[in-house]
Structures are given as structure tokens and as C-alpha cells.
């Protein structure tokens, strides 16, 4: 096994190719540092993920997820509304599992949103510092309720 550096937990950033993913590239082009426990996956559209996808990702090992979608700037009609709807549904499922709702966040990040990108990463980092990684498996454990 590679030795894993002790970390606060893993953060998954689902970033749209027309928004947050380019924003992340801009942060890179500016050589601005942020912690390496962040894993960015490019997505065409944030609307494809059903609630189960998020719950499974928490179960598999992610401790915080931020969906960096394009918000009202999305090139896809209906994407932002549908994504918001799914996130709300996911919150309901998270409540059932006693998961802190702050672990899942929806943030509009544009192609040049350097500062907002870094702020989102920082927000997730601070959250994990505060509440720590998720104990697993989720359902059996009954994770401490800290629902906002």
C-alpha cells in the first residue's frame, strides 16, 4: 500500500466543463495553492447524478462533495434547476442517514471564478477540520447529527 498522508478527509469536486472545471484550470494557471485532498472530476452536466450517486460517494470514501455547476450561466437549459432539485432530494436522504448536510454543497462557479473556487475549497476544508471525516459504513454507524 502507498502510505496515505493523514488527511482531514477526501473532498470530491464535480465541476462542469463549461464552468467550475475551467475555473479550476484558471486557479492552476495562477499557480494558487490549495490542499491536495481535493479530487476534481469534469462533468458535462451536473444534472446526471441521482441522489444515490452522492450517498454512494460518501459511502465509498468521500467526506465532502461540492458540485461546482455553472448555475444560471449553464449552457444547458434546465441543468441548474434539475441539479438543485436533486441536491434537495439528496439532503432528504442525508437526513435519514444523519449526515451533516454541509458535506454536500452546490456552488455556481464560472470559467474565471478563481476566488470563488478557492473559497469553496477552503469552505470544505474548514468543514472537515470542524467535523472530521465520515465514519463508515454510513447507515449502520449513525453518524453524529449536526444537521443545519
Partner 1 sequence: MPEEIVNTQAQNPKEDEPRIGVYVCNCGGNIGDVVKCEHVARTLERLPNVVVSRDNMFMCSDPGQKMIADDIKEKGVNRVVIGACSIFLHEQTFRRTLERAGLNPYLYYHIGLREQVSWVHHGTPKEATEKSIRMMAAGIAKARNMKPLEPVRLPAHRQALVIGGGVAGLRSALDLARRGLKVTLVEKSHYLGGHMAQWERVFPTNEEARPLLKRLIDQVLAEPNITIHTGAEVIGAKGYVGNYNVTIRQTPRGVRETFPNEQEAIDVCPIKRRKRFDFGLSTSKAIYRTYTGCVPESLVIDWETCTKCGECVKVAPEGMINLDEEAQEFTVDVGAVVLATGFQPYEPFYGEMGWKEFPEVITLPQLHRLLDDEGPTQGKFWWNGHPVKNVAIIHCVGSRQVEGVHRAQPDGNVNNYCSRVCCTASLSMASLIRQKAPDAKIYEVFEDIRAYGRGHEDYYTRASKNNVTFLRYFAEEIPEVRRADEKAEHPLLVKVRDHLTWGEEIEIPVDLVVLSVGMMPNPVQDLMEIFKVTPGSDRFLLEVHPKLRPVETAVNGVVLAGTAQGPMNIQESCAAASAAASKVSALIEQAKVELEPYVARVDPDKCQGSGECVKVCPQEEAIELKTFSENGNTFQRAVVTPANCNGCGVCVSACPNRAIDVQGWRLDEYEAMVSAIAADIPAWEGAA
CB of 131 to partner 1, least distance (A): 19
Smallest gap from Cβ 136 to partner 1, in A, equals: 10
Which cell numbers hold the place of 69?
455547476
Shortest distance (Å) from residue 84 CB to partner 1: 12
Q: Which stretch binds partner 1 (CB under 8 A): 68-76, 93-101, 122-130, 140-148?
A: 68-76
Closest separation between CB of residue 130 and partner 1, Å? 21
Which DSSP string do the residues of the chain spell out, in sequence order? Answer: -PPPPP-S-EEEEEEETTTHHHHHHHHHHTT----S-EEEEEES-GGG--HHHHHHHHHHTEEEEEEEE-GGG-SSTTHHHHHHHHHHHHHHHHHHTT--GGGEEEEE--TT-HHHHHHHHHHHHHHHHHH-SPPSSHHHH-PPP---
Subset of 72-111 contacting partner 1 (CB under 8 A): 73, 75-79, 82, 86, 110-111
Could you tell me if 134 and 9 are in contact, meaning their C-beta atoms sit under 8 angstroms apart? yes
Binding mask 24-63 for partner 1 (x = CB under 8 A): xx-xxx-xxxxxxx-xxxxxxx-xxxx--x--xx--xxx-
- Binding residues vs partner 1 (CB under 8 A): 1-2, 4-5, 10, 12, 18, 22, 24-25, 27-29, 31-37, 39-45, 47-50, 53, 56-57, 60-62, 73, 75-79, 82, 86, 110-112
Amino acid at each position: 500500500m502507498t502510505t496515505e498522508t493523514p488527511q482531514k478527509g477526501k473532498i470530491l469536486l464535480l465541476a462542469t466543463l463549461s464552468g467550475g472545471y475551467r475555473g479550476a484550470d484558471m486557479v492552476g494557471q495562477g499557480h494558487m495553492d490549495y490542499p491536495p485532498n481535493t479530487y476534481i472530476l469534469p462533468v458535462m452536466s451536473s444534472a446526471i447524478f441521482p441522489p444515490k450517486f452522492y450517498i454512494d460517494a460518501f459511502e465509498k470514501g468521500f467526506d465532502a462533495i461540492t458540485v461546482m455547476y455553472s448555475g444560471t450561466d449553464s449552457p444547458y437549459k434546465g441543468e441548474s434547476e434539475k441539479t438543485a432539485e436533486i441536491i434537495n432530494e439528496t439532503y432528504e436522504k442525508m437526513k435519514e442517514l444523519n449526515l451533516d448536510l454541509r458535506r454536500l454543497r452546490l456552488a455556481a462557479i464560472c470559467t474565471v471564478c478563481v476566488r470563488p473556487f478557492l473559497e469553496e475549497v477552503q469552505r470544505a476544508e474548514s468543514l472537515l477540520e470542524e467535523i472530521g471525516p465520515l465514519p463508515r459504513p454510513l447507515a449502520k454507524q449513525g453518524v453524529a447529527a449536526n444537521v443545519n
